[in-house]
Amino acid sequence: MIRRGFLIGFLLAASVMPAARASHTRADVRAVAVMDSSDQAAGVSFHLSRTTTYSLFTLEHPSRVVIDLHDARLGSGVHLPSGAGILAGIRTASRPNGTLRVVMQLNAAVPATAEWASPGGRGAAPQLWVSIGRKADVAQLGAPRPVHPAHAPADSDRDVVVAVDAGHGGQDPGAIGHGGTREKDVVLAIARALAERINAEPGMRAVLTRDRDEFLLLRERIHRARLAKADLFVSVHADSIANREVAGSSVYVLSEHGATDEAARWLAERQNSADLMGGVTLSDKDSTLASVLLDLTQSANISASMTAAQGVLGALSRAGEVRKPQVQQAGFVVLKSPDIPSMLVETAYISNPTEERRLRSAPHQTKLAAAIFTGLHDYFERNPPSGTHFARGQAPGGAAVLAGAAAAGPISAR
Protein backbone atom coordinates (compact mmCIF):
# COMPACT_ATOMS: atom_id res chain seq x y z
CA MET A 1 0.00 0.00 0.00
CA ILE A 2 1.06 3.62 -0.29
CA ARG A 3 2.89 4.67 2.93
CA ARG A 4 3.29 8.34 2.12
CA GLY A 5 1.08 10.80 0.31
CA PHE A 6 1.90 12.46 -2.94
CA LEU A 7 4.59 15.12 -2.82
CA ILE A 8 3.76 17.37 -5.75
CA GLY A 9 6.67 19.47 -6.92
CA PHE A 10 5.25 22.57 -8.56
CA LEU A 11 8.69 24.21 -8.53
CA LEU A 12 8.38 26.68 -11.36
CA ALA A 13 5.37 28.75 -12.38
CA ALA A 14 4.16 28.25 -15.91
CA SER A 15 5.12 31.82 -16.75
CA VAL A 16 8.79 31.04 -16.14
CA MET A 17 9.06 28.73 -19.13
CA PRO A 18 6.37 29.78 -21.64
CA ALA A 19 8.31 28.56 -24.65
CA ALA A 20 8.60 25.03 -23.27
CA ARG A 21 4.92 24.91 -22.41
CA ALA A 22 3.81 26.27 -25.75
CA SER A 23 5.85 23.80 -27.76
CA HIS A 24 4.65 20.78 -25.76
CA THR A 25 8.18 19.38 -25.93
CA ARG A 26 8.60 16.74 -23.26
CA ALA A 27 11.44 16.92 -20.80
CA ASP A 28 14.13 14.40 -21.72
CA VAL A 29 15.85 12.45 -18.97
CA ARG A 30 19.41 12.61 -20.28
CA ALA A 31 21.21 10.67 -17.55
CA VAL A 32 20.56 8.78 -14.32
CA ALA A 33 23.30 8.31 -11.73
CA VAL A 34 23.47 6.61 -8.34
CA MET A 35 25.62 8.53 -5.85
CA ASP A 36 27.10 7.31 -2.57
CA SER A 37 24.89 4.28 -2.02
CA SER A 38 25.19 2.44 1.30
CA ASP A 39 23.12 -0.14 3.15
CA GLN A 40 21.03 2.62 4.75
CA ALA A 41 20.85 5.45 2.22
CA ALA A 42 21.51 6.50 -1.36
CA GLY A 43 21.19 9.46 -3.69
CA VAL A 44 19.89 9.23 -7.25
CA SER A 45 20.45 12.11 -9.68
CA PHE A 46 18.25 12.66 -12.76
CA HIS A 47 19.64 15.04 -15.40
CA LEU A 48 16.84 16.54 -17.50
CA SER A 49 16.61 18.83 -20.51
CA ARG A 50 14.25 21.10 -18.56
CA THR A 51 12.38 21.22 -15.29
CA THR A 52 8.96 19.64 -14.97
CA THR A 53 6.51 18.75 -12.21
CA TYR A 54 6.72 15.44 -10.42
CA SER A 55 5.02 13.21 -7.85
CA LEU A 56 6.93 11.06 -5.34
CA PHE A 57 5.60 8.27 -3.12
CA THR A 58 6.74 5.01 -1.55
CA LEU A 59 5.27 1.50 -1.75
CA GLU A 60 5.65 -1.61 0.39
CA HIS A 61 5.88 -5.36 -0.27
CA PRO A 62 8.35 -4.97 -1.87
CA SER A 63 9.79 -1.64 -0.76
CA ARG A 64 9.95 0.90 -3.58
CA VAL A 65 10.35 4.61 -4.19
CA VAL A 66 8.29 5.77 -7.15
CA ILE A 67 8.66 9.10 -8.91
CA ASP A 68 6.35 10.18 -11.72
CA LEU A 69 7.94 12.79 -13.99
CA HIS A 70 5.11 14.58 -15.72
CA ASP A 71 5.41 15.47 -19.40
CA ALA A 72 8.73 13.61 -19.62
CA ARG A 73 10.39 10.70 -21.40
CA LEU A 74 13.58 8.66 -21.12
CA GLY A 75 16.16 10.00 -23.54
CA SER A 76 17.48 7.82 -26.34
CA GLY A 77 20.38 5.62 -25.28
CA VAL A 78 20.13 6.47 -21.57
CA HIS A 79 21.60 3.69 -19.43
CA LEU A 80 19.89 2.93 -16.12
CA PRO A 81 22.48 2.19 -13.41
CA SER A 82 22.64 -1.12 -11.60
CA GLY A 83 21.56 -1.46 -8.00
CA ALA A 84 24.01 -0.83 -5.15
CA GLY A 85 23.64 -0.83 -1.38
CA ILE A 86 20.07 -0.15 -0.33
CA LEU A 87 19.09 0.36 -3.98
CA ALA A 88 18.24 -3.00 -5.56
CA GLY A 89 17.52 -1.65 -9.04
CA ILE A 90 15.87 1.02 -11.20
CA ARG A 91 13.33 0.59 -13.95
CA THR A 92 11.14 2.96 -15.96
CA ALA A 93 7.83 2.81 -17.79
CA SER A 94 5.77 5.23 -19.86
CA ARG A 95 2.42 6.14 -18.33
CA PRO A 96 -0.68 7.79 -19.83
CA ASN A 97 -0.64 11.53 -20.50
CA GLY A 98 3.10 11.62 -21.14
CA THR A 99 4.24 10.66 -17.64
CA LEU A 100 7.51 8.80 -17.13
CA ARG A 101 7.37 6.52 -14.08
CA VAL A 102 10.66 5.64 -12.40
CA VAL A 103 10.60 2.79 -9.88
CA MET A 104 13.54 2.41 -7.50
CA GLN A 105 13.35 -0.95 -5.74
CA LEU A 106 14.87 -1.00 -2.24
CA ASN A 107 16.29 -3.63 0.07
CA ALA A 108 14.66 -1.95 3.09
CA ALA A 109 11.71 0.33 3.78
CA VAL A 110 13.03 3.89 4.24
CA PRO A 111 11.67 7.39 3.52
CA ALA A 112 12.59 9.40 0.46
CA THR A 113 12.50 13.04 -0.64
CA ALA A 114 13.19 14.88 -3.90
CA GLU A 115 14.59 18.32 -4.67
CA TRP A 116 15.70 20.25 -7.74
CA ALA A 117 19.46 20.67 -7.46
CA SER A 118 19.79 23.36 -10.17
CA PRO A 119 16.78 25.70 -10.30
CA GLY A 120 16.07 27.26 -13.67
CA GLY A 121 17.58 30.53 -14.81
CA ARG A 122 21.19 29.82 -13.86
CA GLY A 123 22.45 28.36 -17.14
CA ALA A 124 22.84 24.80 -15.87
CA ALA A 125 20.94 21.70 -16.96
CA PRO A 126 18.25 20.90 -14.36
CA GLN A 127 18.91 17.98 -12.02
CA LEU A 128 16.36 16.29 -9.80
CA TRP A 129 18.00 14.76 -6.73
CA VAL A 130 16.22 11.93 -4.90
CA SER A 131 17.46 11.26 -1.36
CA ILE A 132 16.69 7.73 -0.14
CA GLY A 133 17.04 6.87 3.53
CA ARG A 134 17.48 9.01 6.60
CA LYS A 135 18.22 12.57 5.56
CA ALA A 136 21.23 12.87 7.85
CA ASP A 137 22.75 9.71 6.39
CA VAL A 138 22.38 10.96 2.82
CA ALA A 139 23.86 14.32 3.73
CA GLN A 140 26.99 12.75 5.26
CA LEU A 141 27.79 10.26 2.49
CA GLY A 142 30.91 10.80 0.51
CA ALA A 143 32.93 11.79 3.61
CA PRO A 144 32.63 15.57 3.13
CA ARG A 145 35.17 17.85 4.73
CA PRO A 146 33.97 18.31 8.34
CA VAL A 147 32.57 21.64 9.43
CA HIS A 148 34.62 23.36 12.10
CA PRO A 149 33.34 22.95 15.70
CA ALA A 150 30.61 25.40 16.59
CA HIS A 151 31.17 28.08 19.18
CA ALA A 152 29.15 27.74 22.37
CA PRO A 153 26.31 30.24 22.90
CA ALA A 154 27.93 31.45 26.12
CA ASP A 155 31.31 32.19 24.51
CA SER A 156 32.63 35.68 25.18
CA ASP A 157 35.01 37.57 22.92
CA ARG A 158 34.51 34.84 20.33
CA ASP A 159 35.09 35.14 16.59
CA VAL A 160 32.21 35.96 14.31
CA VAL A 161 31.60 32.96 12.06
CA VAL A 162 30.91 33.43 8.35
CA ALA A 163 29.68 30.46 6.30
CA VAL A 164 31.07 30.85 2.77
CA ASP A 165 29.16 28.77 0.23
CA ALA A 166 30.60 28.07 -3.22
CA GLY A 167 27.63 27.42 -5.47
CA HIS A 168 27.10 24.21 -7.46
CA GLY A 169 29.79 21.49 -7.44
CA GLY A 170 30.25 17.84 -8.33
CA GLN A 171 27.97 16.72 -11.15
CA ASP A 172 26.37 20.18 -11.14
CA PRO A 173 28.76 22.51 -13.03
CA GLY A 174 26.52 25.56 -12.81
CA ALA A 175 26.65 28.02 -15.68
CA ILE A 176 29.27 27.46 -18.39
CA GLY A 177 30.89 30.36 -20.23
CA HIS A 178 31.43 30.53 -23.98
CA GLY A 179 35.09 29.64 -23.41
CA GLY A 180 34.21 26.56 -21.36
CA THR A 181 34.73 28.08 -17.91
CA ARG A 182 32.56 26.32 -15.33
CA GLU A 183 30.83 28.32 -12.64
CA LYS A 184 31.49 25.68 -9.98
CA ASP A 185 35.26 26.07 -10.43
CA VAL A 186 35.57 29.86 -10.34
CA VAL A 187 33.18 30.34 -7.44
CA LEU A 188 35.09 27.77 -5.39
CA ALA A 189 38.28 29.74 -6.04
CA ILE A 190 36.57 32.99 -4.99
CA ALA A 191 35.06 31.32 -1.91
CA ARG A 192 38.48 30.02 -0.87
CA ALA A 193 40.02 33.47 -1.34
CA LEU A 194 37.22 35.02 0.72
CA ALA A 195 37.64 32.43 3.48
CA GLU A 196 41.40 33.05 3.54
CA ARG A 197 40.86 36.81 3.88
CA ILE A 198 38.30 36.33 6.64
CA ASN A 199 40.56 33.96 8.57
CA ALA A 200 43.39 36.49 8.37
CA GLU A 201 41.27 39.08 10.20
CA PRO A 202 41.35 39.02 14.03
CA GLY A 203 37.92 38.30 15.42
CA MET A 204 36.61 36.57 12.28
CA ARG A 205 36.50 32.93 11.17
CA ALA A 206 35.26 31.36 7.94
CA VAL A 207 33.58 27.99 7.38
CA LEU A 208 33.43 26.69 3.80
CA THR A 209 30.32 24.63 3.04
CA ARG A 210 32.45 22.85 0.45
CA ASP A 211 36.21 23.01 -0.06
CA ARG A 212 36.38 20.61 -3.00
CA ASP A 213 34.46 19.67 -6.13
CA GLU A 214 31.51 18.22 -4.24
CA PHE A 215 27.78 18.06 -4.94
CA LEU A 216 25.60 19.39 -2.11
CA LEU A 217 21.85 19.59 -1.81
CA LEU A 218 20.72 23.17 -1.37
CA ARG A 219 19.42 22.61 2.15
CA GLU A 220 22.57 20.73 3.13
CA ARG A 221 24.42 24.01 2.58
CA ILE A 222 22.13 25.68 5.11
CA HIS A 223 22.52 22.69 7.43
CA ARG A 224 26.31 23.00 7.46
CA ALA A 225 26.06 26.71 8.24
CA ARG A 226 23.72 25.97 11.14
CA LEU A 227 26.06 23.26 12.48
CA ALA A 228 28.80 25.89 12.60
CA LYS A 229 26.44 28.38 14.30
CA ALA A 230 27.31 30.87 11.59
CA ASP A 231 26.58 34.53 12.21
CA LEU A 232 26.21 35.15 8.47
CA PHE A 233 25.90 33.05 5.29
CA VAL A 234 27.30 34.12 1.90
CA SER A 235 26.63 32.06 -1.23
CA VAL A 236 28.98 32.83 -4.14
CA HIS A 237 27.84 32.47 -7.76
CA ALA A 238 28.60 33.68 -11.29
CA ASP A 239 25.47 34.37 -13.29
CA SER A 240 24.61 33.55 -16.89
CA ILE A 241 22.21 35.20 -19.33
CA ALA A 242 21.42 34.87 -23.02
CA ASN A 243 22.59 38.43 -23.75
CA ARG A 244 26.38 38.10 -23.65
CA GLU A 245 26.84 41.87 -23.35
CA VAL A 246 25.33 41.98 -19.85
CA ALA A 247 27.96 42.39 -17.13
CA GLY A 248 28.36 43.36 -13.48
CA SER A 249 27.74 42.09 -9.96
CA SER A 250 24.47 41.81 -8.02
CA VAL A 251 23.49 40.76 -4.50
CA TYR A 252 20.31 39.00 -3.35
CA VAL A 253 18.57 38.43 -0.03
CA LEU A 254 15.43 36.44 0.75
CA SER A 255 12.09 37.78 -0.44
CA GLU A 256 9.08 38.13 1.84
CA HIS A 257 7.29 35.43 -0.16
CA GLY A 258 10.23 33.07 0.28
CA ALA A 259 10.21 33.77 4.01
CA THR A 260 6.48 33.01 4.23
CA ASP A 261 6.97 29.66 2.49
CA GLU A 262 9.85 28.76 4.80
CA ALA A 263 7.87 29.77 7.90
CA ALA A 264 5.10 27.38 6.88
CA ARG A 265 7.67 24.60 6.46
CA TRP A 266 9.25 25.21 9.87
CA LEU A 267 5.91 25.44 11.66
CA ALA A 268 4.72 22.22 10.04
CA GLU A 269 7.92 20.43 11.11
CA ARG A 270 8.62 22.19 14.41
CA GLN A 271 8.56 18.97 16.44
CA ASN A 272 11.62 17.81 14.48
CA SER A 273 13.28 21.16 13.78
CA ALA A 274 16.49 22.36 15.35
CA ASP A 275 16.29 25.24 17.79
CA LEU A 276 16.58 28.75 16.44
CA MET A 277 19.79 30.60 17.10
CA GLY A 278 19.87 32.23 20.52
CA GLY A 279 18.29 29.21 22.22
CA VAL A 280 14.71 29.71 21.01
CA THR A 281 12.91 26.42 20.45
CA LEU A 282 9.63 25.94 18.61
CA SER A 283 8.96 22.34 19.59
CA ASP A 284 7.50 23.12 23.02
CA LYS A 285 5.39 26.11 21.92
CA ASP A 286 1.77 26.11 20.82
CA SER A 287 1.17 26.99 17.17
CA THR A 288 0.33 30.65 17.83
CA LEU A 289 3.38 31.36 19.97
CA ALA A 290 5.66 29.41 17.61
CA SER A 291 4.33 31.46 14.69
CA VAL A 292 4.95 34.75 16.52
CA LEU A 293 8.48 33.78 17.53
CA LEU A 294 9.35 32.63 14.02
CA ASP A 295 7.88 35.80 12.50
CA LEU A 296 9.96 37.97 14.85
CA THR A 297 13.09 36.01 14.04
CA GLN A 298 12.55 36.11 10.29
CA SER A 299 11.76 39.83 10.24
CA ALA A 300 14.95 40.64 12.15
CA ASN A 301 16.89 38.23 9.94
CA ILE A 302 15.74 39.76 6.64
CA SER A 303 16.50 43.24 7.96
CA ALA A 304 20.01 42.17 8.99
CA SER A 305 20.52 40.40 5.65
CA MET A 306 19.54 43.54 3.76
CA THR A 307 21.92 45.71 5.80
CA ALA A 308 24.84 43.33 5.26
CA ALA A 309 24.03 42.91 1.56
CA GLN A 310 23.92 46.66 1.00
CA GLY A 311 27.42 46.93 2.43
CA VAL A 312 28.72 44.15 0.18
CA LEU A 313 27.05 45.64 -2.89
CA GLY A 314 28.58 49.03 -2.10
CA ALA A 315 32.05 47.49 -1.80
CA LEU A 316 31.58 45.62 -5.10
CA SER A 317 30.52 48.85 -6.82
CA ARG A 318 33.77 50.48 -5.73
CA ALA A 319 35.76 47.51 -7.03
CA GLY A 320 34.06 47.26 -10.43
CA GLU A 321 30.78 47.28 -12.32
CA VAL A 322 27.48 46.29 -10.72
CA ARG A 323 24.56 45.08 -12.78
CA LYS A 324 21.84 46.04 -10.28
CA PRO A 325 22.57 49.01 -7.98
CA GLN A 326 20.05 47.91 -5.37
CA VAL A 327 19.97 44.70 -3.38
CA GLN A 328 17.54 42.27 -5.01
CA GLN A 329 15.14 39.88 -3.26
CA ALA A 330 14.32 36.35 -4.40
CA GLY A 331 13.25 32.99 -3.01
CA PHE A 332 16.56 31.13 -3.44
CA VAL A 333 16.59 28.05 -1.20
CA VAL A 334 20.07 28.78 0.18
CA LEU A 335 18.78 32.06 1.63
CA LYS A 336 16.00 30.44 3.63
CA SER A 337 17.61 29.91 7.03
CA PRO A 338 15.13 31.76 9.28
CA ASP A 339 17.76 32.94 11.76
CA ILE A 340 21.08 33.37 9.91
CA PRO A 341 21.46 36.58 7.89
CA SER A 342 22.07 35.33 4.36
CA MET A 343 22.96 36.73 0.96
CA LEU A 344 23.71 35.40 -2.51
CA VAL A 345 26.42 37.26 -4.43
CA GLU A 346 26.44 37.05 -8.22
CA THR A 347 30.06 38.08 -8.69
CA ALA A 348 29.88 38.50 -12.48
CA TYR A 349 28.21 37.22 -15.64
CA ILE A 350 30.17 34.21 -16.82
CA SER A 351 28.21 34.47 -20.09
CA ASN A 352 30.02 37.76 -20.83
CA PRO A 353 33.35 36.93 -22.60
CA THR A 354 35.28 39.70 -20.83
CA GLU A 355 33.97 38.76 -17.42
CA GLU A 356 34.57 35.08 -18.13
CA ARG A 357 38.26 35.83 -18.75
CA ARG A 358 38.44 37.88 -15.55
CA LEU A 359 36.77 35.14 -13.52
CA ARG A 360 39.57 32.75 -14.54
CA SER A 361 42.18 35.23 -13.27
CA ALA A 362 43.47 34.62 -9.72
CA PRO A 363 44.10 38.36 -9.10
CA HIS A 364 40.53 39.19 -10.14
CA GLN A 365 39.16 36.39 -7.95
CA THR A 366 41.10 37.88 -5.04
CA LYS A 367 39.78 41.35 -5.90
CA LEU A 368 36.18 40.14 -5.78
CA ALA A 369 36.80 38.28 -2.52
CA ALA A 370 38.39 41.40 -1.00
CA ALA A 371 35.36 43.50 -1.92
CA ILE A 372 32.94 41.01 -0.37
CA PHE A 373 35.13 40.87 2.75
CA THR A 374 35.12 44.66 3.08
CA GLY A 375 31.34 44.73 3.08
CA LEU A 376 31.12 41.93 5.64
CA HIS A 377 33.73 43.47 7.95
CA ASP A 378 31.99 46.85 7.89
CA TYR A 379 28.67 45.16 8.69
CA PHE A 380 30.07 43.37 11.76
CA GLU A 381 31.75 46.54 12.99
CA ARG A 382 28.39 48.35 12.89
CA ASN A 383 26.25 45.35 13.93
CA PRO A 384 28.36 43.14 16.22
CA PRO A 385 26.78 39.83 17.28
CA SER A 386 26.48 39.30 21.02
CA GLY A 387 29.54 37.82 22.72
CA THR A 388 31.95 38.49 19.86
CA HIS A 389 35.22 40.35 19.67
CA PHE A 390 33.40 43.01 17.63
CA ALA A 391 30.83 43.44 20.40
CA ARG A 392 33.33 44.15 23.17
CA GLY A 393 31.79 46.91 25.28
CA GLN A 394 28.58 47.06 23.19
CA ALA A 395 25.02 45.95 23.86
CA PRO A 396 23.89 42.37 23.08
CA GLY A 397 22.37 41.66 19.67
CA GLY A 398 18.84 40.81 18.66
CA ALA A 399 19.18 37.03 18.97
CA ALA A 400 19.95 37.24 22.69
CA VAL A 401 17.07 39.65 23.21
CA LEU A 402 14.68 37.29 21.43
CA ALA A 403 15.93 34.33 23.47
CA GLY A 404 15.24 36.25 26.67
CA ALA A 405 11.76 37.16 25.49
CA ALA A 406 10.97 33.52 24.73
CA ALA A 407 12.14 32.42 28.16
CA ALA A 408 10.13 35.11 29.92
CA GLY A 409 6.80 33.53 29.13
CA PRO A 410 3.92 33.51 26.64
CA ILE A 411 3.46 36.32 24.12
CA SER A 412 -0.01 37.62 23.50
CA ALA A 413 -0.65 37.56 19.75
CA ARG A 414 -3.22 40.06 18.62
- Domain range enclosing 341: 160-406
* pLDDT tens by residue, the chain, 414 residues: 433 333 333 333 333 333 333 345 888 998 888 876 778 888 888 888 888 888 888 888 889 999 999 999 998 888 888 888 889 999 999 987 889 999 999 998 888 888 876 444 344 567 888 888 854 333 336 333 333 334 434 445 789 999 999 999 999 999 999 999 999 999 999 999 999 999 999 999 999 999 999 998 888 898 889 888 899 999 999 988 889 998 999 999 987 766 666 656 655 555 445 556 555 566 556 566 666 665 666 667 788 889 999 999 999 999 888 988 899 888 888 887 777 899 999 999 999 999 999 999 999 999 999 999 999 999 999 988 888 888 874 533 333 333 333 333 333 333
Q: Give the number of domains in the chain.
A: 2
Same domain, 64 and 14: yes
Task: Identify which of 290, 245, 248 has the alpha carbon closest to the alpha carbon of residue 265.
Answer: 290
Same domain, 12 and 93: yes
Whole-structure pTM value = 0.58
Same domain, 310 and 340: yes
Same domain, 78 and 30: yes
Residue 45, C-beta contacts closer than 8 angstroms, at least 6 positions apart? 31, 32, 33, 34, 35, 117, 127, 128, 129, 130, 171, 215
Same domain, 116 and 184: no
Q: Residue 286 carries which side chain, given as an amino acid letter?
A: D
Same domain, 300 and 168: yes
Same domain, 264 and 340: yes
Q: What is the CATH number for 250?
A: 3.40.630.40
* Boundary of a domain, candidates 111, 140, 169: 140
Taking CB atoms within 8 Å and a gap of at least 24, the contacts of 112-118 are 112/56, 112/58, 112/65, 113/7, 113/56, 114/7, 114/9, 114/54, 114/56, 114/67, 115/217, 115/218, 115/219, 116/9, 116/11, 116/51, 117/45, 117/172, 117/215, 117/217, 117/218, 118/168, 118/172, 118/174
Asked whether residue 79 is domain-assigned, the answer is: yes
SS (H, E, C) 115-156: EECCCCCCCCCCEEEEEECCHHHHHHCCCCCCCCCCCCCCCC
What distance in Å separates the CA atoms of residue 57 and residue 59, rounded to the nearest whole number?
7
What distance in Å separates the CA atoms of residue 279 and residue 20, rounded to the nearest whole number?
47
Residues 87, 44 contacting (CB under 8 angstroms): yes
